[in-house]
Structure 1
Amino acid sequence: MRGALGLAFLLMTLHVQGHDHSRCAVDDWGRDVCLPASAQRIATLSPGATELTYAAGAGEHVVAVVSYSDYPPEAKNVASVGSHTRIDLEALVGLAPDLVIGWVTGNPAEQMETLEALGMPVFYIEPRTFEDVAYTVERLARLAGTEPAGQQVANDFRKGMAELASRYSGRAPVRTFYQVWDQPLMSVNDEHLIGQVVQLCSGENVFGDQQRLVPRLDDEAVLAANPEAIIAGGMGEESRHWLTHWEQYPHLAAVSDDSLYFVPPSLIQRPTPRLLEGAQLLCEKLEQTRQKRARAFSMNRSS
C-alpha cells in the first residue's frame, strides 16, 4: 500500500514546484518545517488542530479533518479521514494535502511516520500554556500565508487573557474541583491548561499538586478535599447531570453553598482561542462563590 500512496502523493505535489516563496516554522517537536509555498490544502488531524487552523485564518484551505472537528460549524462540511487515533491514510493521501497538522500526543505514531516517509510535510502542535495558544495560531498563519488574520486573533487572545489575569489577581482564593470526566472520576493538576485557568481566576485547585496531569480520583478524595466550587466539563455540551451526583453529599461545601457549575467543555478543554471565553465563564463562576461566601459572612456577623 505504501508504494501506491507514495506515487499518489508524488503526483499531487507536482503543482507546488516552481514556487519560491517558502514558508517555515518550528513545530512543537522542535523541528523546522518548511514548505515551498503557502499551504493551500491542509489536513488537520485533531479537533483542536482544526479549530486552531481556522483561527489562523486558513479555514478555506482545510481539505481534511477527523471526527469531532465541530468548530467552527463549517468544519463539519469538510471531508473526514477517520479519527485522531486511527487515520484513513488512503483517504487522506487521496485528498492531496500539502500540509498535515498533527497532534503531538494524540495521533498514532506509526501512521504519522508513514505520512512522513511518503514525504508529506507534517507540522506537530500541542499548546500547553496560554502563550502557546497564541504562538500556535501565529505559526499556522505563517505556514498558510494568512499572517494578518492569525496575528489579530493571537493578539486578541493575549490581550483578553492578560485582562482576566489583571481583573482577578489578588481575589480571595476559592477551593475548586474541576471534573474533567465522570467514569473514572478525573480532574487536572496545576500544570494542565485548565489548571492554569483556575489559577488565573484566583481559584485554588484542590488537586493541583497531583503528579499526573489528569489524575484519577474517587468520591472519597473529593469529600476529603471539600472544594467550595465544583465545575464540570466533559466531552459534549450536556454534562450538567454530572453535577447532580454531588448533591448526595449535602455537607460538601460546594453543595451546601450551591456552587455546582457547568462550563461548556468545548470552551475550556481545547487549547484554542475560545479558551478565553471559557476562562471568562470559569472566573465568573468562582466570583459567584466569593460573593456567596461574603454574604454568608455578613449575615453571620449581623446575627
Structure 2
Amino acid sequence: MSLRPTLETRRAVPTMEGAGVKLHRAFGFQDPSELDPFLLFDDFRNDRPEDYLRGFPWHPHRGIETITYVLAGTVEHGDSLGNTGTLGAGDVQWMTAGSGILHQEMPQGNAAGQMHGFQLWGNLPASQKMTAPRYQDVTGADIPEVVDDDGTAVKVIVGAFWGRTGPVDGIAADPQYLDISVPAGVTKRFKIDTYRRAFAYVFEGSASFADASDPTGILLEKEVAGQEVNIRDLSGDRTLVRFGTGDEITVRAGPGGVRFLLISGAPIAEPVAWHGPIVMNTQAELQQAMRDLRNGTFIRPAH
C-alpha cells in the first residue's frame, strides 16, 4: 500500500451564484487539470431563506455532468425535457447535460429554514460531449450505508466500496463518491484506486490527514503500510483536502468526530474550453454553443 500525500489543504471561498444564492466554493473556474475530471464543487448551506430562496433560475449546460446531493431542505427542479421533481434530504440527482439542457434548481429550507447541499461538476470526454441528456434521481433510502465495528459509517453514493455499490451508474468519470463519518479520535484508512484523482471535503467536525511526504506534524504511528507517517493540522468545516497519487488515505478524526466527502475519478486528460455552464474541448465548440443559444437550436431533438 502507498499513502497518498496531501498536496493542498484550503478553505472553501464564499461566493454568490444563480439569482443571489450565497454559497462556498471549494474549487472551480481555475485550473481544470488540477482535479480532472472534476471541474467545480460548491457547498450551498444557509439558515437564512433570503440567502438561497431566489435559487438558480433557468440556465443552460452542455458538455458536463452535475451531481446534486441534498442534506437538509429540498431542491425543486425542472428542465427543458419536461422533467420536474423535488430532491429531499439525503437524495441525489446526477444530471448528464451532454448536448445541452436548460434547467432550474430552486432550494427550499426545512421547517427551521435550513438549507444544505452540494453540487459537483464532472467533465465529459470529447466522445460524450454531445450525448443525449439524461437524469438519475436517487432517494436517500436507496443509498447503501456501511457501518464498521469502530462506528465509522460510509454512504456509498457512486462506485463500489466495502462490498457495497452505489445506485448511480454509467458516469463518464467513473467516480467514487462517498459520504464518510468517523467517530472522535478514531484513525481510519480508506483505499482509493491509484489511477484516480482524489479529494476530501470536510463539512462537519474536524480531522487530520496523514501525509508521508511532510516531515512536519505529529507522528501518527511508527509506520503505516511501511511508511513513517506524519499528521497535518486539523482540517475543519468547509475544508478541501487535495491528494497526490497512491492507493489509500489515512484520517484521524478530531475531538468531535468528522464527516467528509471522499470523491475520486479517472482523469480525462483532454483540452478544456470553458465558459460559464458550458464546457467543451475547443473555442470553436464554445462559440457554436453560444450561437445555438442565440438562435434557439441549443436543445437537440431526441433521437
User: TM above 0.5, one fold?
Assistant: no
Q: Which has the higher contact order (CA 8 A, sep 6+)?
A: 2
- Higher strand proportion: 2
- Higher helix proportion: 1
Bigger-Rg structure (1/2): 1
TM-score by length of 1: 0.29
